[in-house]
Amino acid sequence: MLHGMRRQQLHVYFHDRLNVTDVLMAEHAPGPITQTAAPYGSIFCVNDHMTVTKDPESALLGHVTGLSTTASFDGVTYFCTFTVAFNTTKPQHGTPAHLSGLEGTINIFGLVNVITPKPHAISGGTGSFLMAQGTATIVPIDVRTFKQVYRLDLDVYLPS
């Protein structure tokens, strides 16, 4: 534990819809976009729903928005900058108590591999997450279709 900080662990899900909630903005190298890979240098804008469970119909917690760029020639590693925006001040039915009443953002920065999860830096936040530090791990749950699901494990440290 970081001195003088309180720890908050959150596990949420976000739902990627290729060419619906993720839009290809620029393609550098020629090649098709597949279910699990995009050509090197492709730039995507992201605006995905964030929910309590992997079911896209479960309680909505907010959105994951940002940019990602394909950063490997095999198309499975992306350089990403995301803002995770929570808005549970008026929680929906099915929202757990520890996720209720959250409003604000967490900023995530780093390389994401859609096959092998690893932690990324949390580089601040707003509202309930003002001055956040910690790590975020993006875990692929289902990436076999154009409706991809990822679990976002947040290990957040906040000023006491």
CB 39 within 8 A of CB 69: no
Task: For residue 79, name the pLDDT band (cuts at 50, 70, 90).
Answer: very high
In the CATH scheme, what architecture does the domain 5-159 have?
A: Beta Barrel (2.40)
Least confident of 18-32, 52-66, 84-98, 128-142: 18-32
pLDDT tens per residue, range 35-77: 556 778 888 888 999 999 999 899 999 999 999 898 988 888 8
- Sorted by where each begins, the domain ranges of the chain are 5-159
3-state helix, strand, coil in the chain (%, to 5): 5, 55, 40
Distance, in Å, from the CA atom of 33 to the CA atom of 35, rounded to the nearest integer, reads 7
Residue type, 131: M
Global pTM reads 0.83
In the block, tokens 């990602």 appear at 68
- Contacts with 93 (C-beta within 8 Å, 6 or more apart), sequence order: 59
H helices then E strands: how many in the chain? 0, 9
List, in sequence order, every residue forming a beta bridge with 141; answer none if it has no partner: none
